[in-house]
Amino acid sequence: MVIEAITKLSEKGGSSLQAIKKYIADVHKVDVEKQGTFIKKALKKAVESGKLTQPKGKGAAGSFKLAVKPKPEKKPAGEKKPKAKKPKAAGSPKKAAKKPAAKKGYSKSSFTKTQESQGTKSRC
């Protein structure tokens, strides 16, 4: 009833305890003097839980507003979460590793051997 009263009153600075009691008495046809302690408890509990905020006053005195819920930030449409990689099944056949291609050219050791066979020696 209390939160309903605050939403219907929708005052800029918040609704006072008197205004809330008056609304409940008019709409719900309840004796507010007998229900006053329960209304105060409901207000205090709603402020503690975060459903209401209290811009002015302490306890059940002052004014009360509905708490503004923070809007969740939307992520840009272009970005997507990376998909989880599936683990490979055990026992699947593995591909054989390729051997590097042989070099086309002369190795230093073969070049020196050919020079020795021709009779020329390299001076190092």
Partners of 63 in beta bridges: 16, 56
Which tokens belong to 22?
Answer: 């008056």
In a domain, 90, yes or no: no
Residue 18 domain-assigned (yes or no) = yes
- Do the Cβ atoms of 36 and 18 come closer than 8 Å? no
- The answer to whether residue 99 scores a pLDDT higher than 60 is yes
pTM over the 0.75 mark: no
| H or E stretch covering 55 | strand 52-56
Q: What residue numbers bound the domain in which 9 lies? A: 2-66
Q: 43 near 16, Cβ under 8 Å?
A: no
What is the domain-level CATH number for residue 44? Answer: 1.10.10.10
Q: How many domains does the chain have?
A: 1
pLDDT tens digits, one per residue of 54-65: 888 887 788 888
